[in-house]
Amino acid sequence: SVAQADGLPPLEQKDTYTVGFAQMESNNPWRIAETKSFHDTAESCGWNLIATDAAGSAAKQVADVDSMIAQGIDVLFLPPREEKPLIPAVMKARAAGIPTFLIDRSVDPAVAKPGEHFVSFLGSDFIDQGRRVAEWTLENFEGEQGIIVELEGTTGSSPANDRRKGFDDVMAQHDNMTIVASQTGDFARDMGRQVMETLLQAHPDVNIVYAHNDEMAIGAIQALELAGRKPGEDVLVVSIDGTRDALQAIIDGKMGVTVESSPFFGPLACEVMNKYAAGETIEPWVQVQDRIFTVDNAAENIDAAY
Ligand code: GYE
């Protein structure tokens, strides 16, 4: 664990902080819920919040951080869109003496390290999420041979890399499970639908779809239905996040499971930042615990979903 005394940029205890939150994009409910969580936390945490939206461009996200540094932020909260392209933003904030907390995604750990270049990563265990989806699938798939299509998240992002690893490693140990195609849908509903349409033509015998997030799962369900397939009956759809639309799809019997990946980072960011300012030690990885949503609990959780 690390404290500011270990050589990281100092952060004094004050009533108000100028805080940068450099969001990567706002094209899905998860991102919108996360940004809202920071805005909702701002007043009670004493943040004068500068929030930007990189609109899906890593280059713009780096430029947004540049401009926040120029505006004199005290603290940076950064959800890095991709693992490598955002390293310059982390390094520039470090050089400018600004404590940085990575939010919900991480950067390449071989190059930028918690406790050294940034304070800490606040987020889920993506390998474990992928593993849990795979284990649920193995227990609940009713066919004999699983023909799996995998819709990957944003290429080069930590959740896409790790959700793939967690799932694929489990499936590799089961001879009756074959991943016939694995392609990026960029974590987006539209692209998930388009990629699923194409993959369905090459692999009409698919009976399991694993999407790295709920938006792509919903897109895949649309593509399957357009092709006359029956998601939930002849194709098992499984994914990650816990959005309202995914919980509804589970209730409607079209989706099997979604492992939670919470977007509500505002309160956690406030708590960890205050501990850091108080000189307490911070874990290099502040791990978020995730639930699992199935037909057993989707209805009771949908009202709190986003
Ligand atoms: O699963 C996805 C979002 O980085 C954990 O990014 C996050 C992921 C989340 O776009 O829906």
Judge contact between 184 and 192, C-beta under 8 A.
Answer: no
| CA–CA distance, 261 with 34 (Å, rounded to integer) | 11
Q: What is the DSSP letter of 302?
A: G
Question: Residue 231: what are its φ and ψ, rounded to 5°?
Answer: -55, 135
Answer whether 141 contacts ligand 1 (Cβ < 6 A): no
Q: Which residues contact 54 (CB under 8 A, 6 or more apart)?
A: 22, 23, 24, 25, 60, 61, 64, 81
| Closest-lying ligand 1 atom to the alpha carbon of residue 214 | 11
Q: Given ligand 1 and candidates 30, 126, 184, which is best to mutate, with the most ligand atoms within 8 Å of its CB?
A: 30
pLDDT given for residue 297 in this prediction: 98
pTM: 0.97
What is the Å distance from ligand 1's center to 10 Cα?
Answer: 30
Residues of the chain with pLDDT under 50: none
What is the Å distance from ligand 1's center to 29 Cα?
Answer: 10
3-state secondary structure 252-270: CCCCCEEEECCCCCHHHHH
pLDDT given for residue 1 in this prediction: 61
Answer whether 41 contacts ligand 1 (Cβ < 6 A): no
Taking alpha carbons only, the member of 172, 153, 177, 189 closest to residue 261 is 153
Residues 36-58 as b/e (b if ≥16 CB within 10 A, e otherwise) read: ebbeebbeebebebbbbbbebeb
pLDDT given for residue 5 in this prediction: 59
The residues pairing with 20 across neighbouring beta strands, listed in sequence order, are 50, 76
Q: What's the CA angle centered on 295, arms 124 and 140, to 5 degrees?
A: 80
Answer whether 241 contacts ligand 1 (Cβ < 6 A): yes
| CA–CA distance, 43 with 36 (Å, rounded to integer) | 12
Judge contact between 87 and 112, C-beta under 8 A.
Answer: yes
Q: Looking at 157-265, list the stretches that DSSP marks H as alpha helix, in order from N- to C-terminal side.
A: 158-171, 189-202, 214-226, 244-251
Taking alpha carbons only, the member of 73, 132, 164, 158 closest to residue 292 is 132
| Closest-lying ligand 1 atom to the alpha carbon of residue 126 | 5
The total of other beta-carbon atoms located within 10 Å of residue 73's CB is 25
| Closest-lying ligand 1 atom to the alpha carbon of residue 79 | 4
What is the Å distance from ligand 1's center to 216 Cα?
Answer: 11
